[in-house]
Structure 1
Amino acid sequence: MTYLLKGGIIATFTKDSNKPSVYAADVLVEDSVITQIGENIAADPNVEVIDCDGKWVTPGMVDTHRHVFTTVLRGEQCDWLLSEYLVKMSMFLQARLTAEEIRVGQLSGCLDALHSGVTTILDHFHAATTPEHAEASLQATIQSGARVVWCPARQSGPTQLLPTVEYGNEEETCKWQMEKLAEWGSKDGGRLSPDGRVTLGLAYDIIEAGPISPHKAALRYARENNVSIITAHVVKGPRITTWRDAGLLGPDVVFSHCNCLYDRTDPDDEMWEAMKENECAIASTPVDELGMAHGNPVAIEAVQRGVKCGLGADCLSINGGDIFAQMRMALQFARGRGHEIIEREGHAGPKSNKHLCADAFRLATLGGAEALNLDDKIGTIEVGKKADMVVFDTDSANLAGIDDPISGITFHASNADVELVMVNGEIVKRDGKLTKVPWGPVARELKQKAREVRERFPREKLEELWSEWYEACGAPRL
């Protein structure tokens, strides 16, 4: 299909500039690619013209860390600390979800992202407890139409929590997970959908379990089998140096959170240097990092130190699926801490803000694409790039009267203002409604499955489990 987005106001970074470009232009999309950008582009009879007069046209936003399937638990975990999440969710609840619940959570989570103008996701899928669960997640991802680096986790669930944690299925689980990894990786070089929208990654959080040699072998095996991204959680511990000392860091590594890097004032700090020298990336999720006791977010500091960084929504059971909130939180946290330091040192207030709306906008678009090594394909609006774009309704109650799309999107926009979303040249949302997969039937399935999960695992049962664990073991190590 060929589309001409006519008369819009483009807002985008480009690889060659530290400042965003904002200008009026038409955009021609042929098949999956942007082929022309300019004024008064003529439309052939077979081209569908989309009136974007006065509307903002931006790159699709990139989410570098999201647990998509957790949408089936949406709203259930908003008051939890990370330590509670690890016990109630990671160690107990997720292994007890059915493959059908995973499918519905995955599909609705991808659609939630598209609804909010998030066209690309790194999905840290840590509920691959059986081959059926993994395939349910993958097929729902492909069905959604989102661009996803799908990263099934190499781990097994506990078979016993108390009095000690036991992983009785680890050998069996490791065997089928590695076999499936090779199977997925052999399909068209790790392209898991025919159009290449869904590609293979790997989530690997078990680096500190046992001797290092099996982990080195597993990650070498993954790289040999066309895994494009390897991702892992780093919160408070020095896990970065574990990866470095084992020779496992590289441009394909994305560490989520990295709160341990906050306020390390030495410009030659070894962990920051390891990240920069090995061209690793950080996925920062400031909303839940601040609320769940991960620590302070490092997104803005990462950019200042020359480390690739993008934003993410993390758990859809805790946060909304948009990136707008993450942009605002990352920016305002960095501003607030900067102001605090100035005042603590006895100086007069700053003349102006050091960190600008454009910094947050870049994190959400090109910064995320760089983190996933996809900046040659997405993250900007340029000729030759994939047509992953968002059109904002500037007549909306949120945006009317704003003339700068960068500040408007950073501080005023919501998913209600996202009028049209295009991924790989395909329109997946039009006139404010999802089109590739209509939302109504999915919403009904989601409500039913969420109800079933709540009935099997009521909040009181989860709280009892957490209390018993905390009494016996204390908070788990982050």
Structure 2
Amino acid sequence: MTKYLLKGGTIATCEKGKPGVRVFKSDVLVAGTTITKIEENMAPEAGVEVIDCTDKWITPGFVDTHRHVFMAVMRGNHCDWLLTEYFIKSPARHLTVALYRTVQGDLTPDEVRIGTLAGCLDALHNGVTTLLDHFHAANTRAHLDAALAATLESGARLRADGRVTLGLAYDVLRGADVAPHVEFVRAARAAGARIVTAHALVDEHVTAWRDAGLIGTDVPAGARGPRGAAWKVLKESGAGIGATPVDELGMGHGNPLALEALARGVKCGLGADAVSINGGDMFTQMRTQLQWSRGATHENIRQNKLALPYKNEWNSADVFRLATLGGAECLNMGDLIGTVEVGKRADLLVFDTNTPNLGGAADPVTGVVFHAGSEDVETVFVDGEMVKKNGKLVRSWGPVAMELRKHADAIRERWSANKLEGEWKKWWDTFGSPVW
């Protein structure tokens, strides 16, 4: 059994049922997959690898509650698109409109495989140790097998107590006859799907799941626009929200709502969403959500000529929680990951505070939320396995990058920007502006 002693670090962790973030100095002993002891001044035992964490921060690994991992093979292609453009230019097969079958429906199994492998490694590099992968490139069984093989190869944790557990990504639950969809979702659960993930852009998407009798604690929705009715359904059912602030703002999904979810008592975590559009880190998601929420509050104060508050309504600890324990609870994994506690799985990050980004910072919570980046994540553990060491992935990235570039270039050659713009213009000229 491999053992590590993380010695002399400053730990920052949320605690179940308690507000804020606890910050304290201690050593952490990892044995096999588990955190087995947390106390100061532990003496190293024989056979234990000691990691000097003096001037370093130890935090839980980040939990991403909504990500399309394979889309790393299309990185940078979609950054300036509205969601409406995406539906025409690069839809998944189940979202294909009319006769449009563009990029995603045309991907090869090899392209999906390298995108998934690169996307998982990107997450690990950024300290994201657990992912909910809403996979929608299962064009054939070969595509599905390729993505699963790449996921297993990467070493990332996808959702559950094993490294990788299968769930169901299912969005079609509308129309006159939902009975076949209900039967399908129930069959997936009966077959062992531990989680059912869906997109929910408006109230009707959430209430449709409720009306079909399918909403439950195993449903974290990529929810972007719930209002009155949907909030009540989410809270009463125990379902969660995988919020993706950067994507929501940029593509026209609606305003970021993760902190509103916390205020309403709805389980919520953060996600990177489409990594063809956004970076794969949680730092940007935390900052975007926090500053947008603060800005919305400040704008309301100005417009209504209200008195200035004594302090900001939301703080760094709130979004730190969303990215760690909040995400774990959203995925029903709060008993396994999301905190630095004895008995939890050893999904841990070690931050070097002597970097240009963090030098001089004293508080790990504000430091991680406002100043840190992937380059400051020195060490990453998943299930007690070291997957990033001395600031570099243990898995060699060079060959992955070369293959990723080859396949990404091939996709861009088949589907040039001009060709996709032509598809979008054809749709626009025929049907006009879509209405939400």
Q: What's the TM-score, normalizing by structure 1?
A: 0.87
Secondary structure of 1:354's counterpart equals coil
State the alpha-carbon separation in 2 of the partners of residues 473 and 142 from structure 1. 43
Q: Does 1:394 align with 2:394?
A: no
Residue of structure 1 equivalent to 2:7: 6
Q: Does 1:93 align with 2:103?
A: yes
Q: Does 1:417 align with 2:379?
A: no
State the alpha-carbon separation in 1 of the partners of residues 9 and 72 from structure 2. 33
Residue of structure 2 equivalent to 1:183: none
State the alpha-carbon separation in 1 of the partners of residues 78 and 229 from structure 2. 35
CA deviation map 1:277-331 (0-9, x unaligned): 0000001101010011111111000000000000000011100000100000111
CA contact (8 A) 1:86 1:476 kept: no
CA contact (8 A) 1:108 1:442 kept: yes
Residue of structure 1 equivalent to 2:165: 199
Residue of structure 1 equivalent to 2:145: 135
Residue of structure 2 equivalent to 1:31: 32
CA contact (8 A) 2:129 2:156 kept: yes
State the alpha-carbon separation in 2 of the partners of residues 321 and 465 from structure 1. 28
Secondary structure of 2:42's counterpart equals coil
CA deviation map 1:11-52 (0-9, x unaligned): 000114212110110000000000000001122111111111
State the alpha-carbon separation in 2 of the partners of residues 430 and 226 from structure 1. 35
Residue of structure 2 equivalent to 1:453: 411
Secondary structure of 2:312's counterpart equals coil
State the alpha-carbon separation in 2 of the partners of residues 456 and 304 from structure 1. 46
State the alpha-carbon separation in 2 of the partners of residues 145 and 37 from structure 1. 25
CA contact (8 A) 1:257 1:297 kept: no
CA deviation map 1:245-277 (0-9, x unaligned): 11111000111033233xxxxxxx322111000
Runs of 4+ residues deviating >6 angstroms: none
Secondary structure of 2:165's counterpart equals strand
**Pairing of 1:288-437 with structure 2 (within 5 A):** 288-435=247-394, 437=395
**Pairing of 1:70-89 with structure 2 (within 5 A):** 70-89=71-90
Q: Percent identity?
A: 54
**Pairing of 1:95-244 with structure 2 (within 5 A):** 95-149=105-159, 196-209=162-175, 211-236=177-202, 238-244=204-210
CA contact (8 A) 2:224 2:255 kept: no
Q: Does 1:273 align with 2:232?
A: yes
In structure 1, list runs of 5 or more residues that go unmatched.
150-190, 262-268
Residue 197 of structure 1, CA deviation = 0.6
Q: What's the TM-score, normalizing by structure 2?
A: 0.96
Residue of structure 2 equivalent to 1:166: none
Residue 446 of structure 1, CA deviation = 0.6
Residue 237 of structure 1, CA deviation = 5.1
Q: Cα RMSD over matched residues?
A: 1.2
State the alpha-carbon separation in 1 of the partners of residues 343 and 435 from structure 2. 46
CA contact (8 A) 1:72 1:105 kept: yes
Letter in 1 for 2:4: Y
Q: Residues 238 and 451 of structure 1: is their aligned pair in 2 closer, same or farther, counting only changes over 3 Å? A: same
CA contact (8 A) 1:313 1:319 kept: yes
CA deviation map 1:174-231 (0-9, x unaligned): xxxxxxxxxxxxxxxxx8xxx8110011111111145111111111111111111101
Letter in 1 for 2:250: G
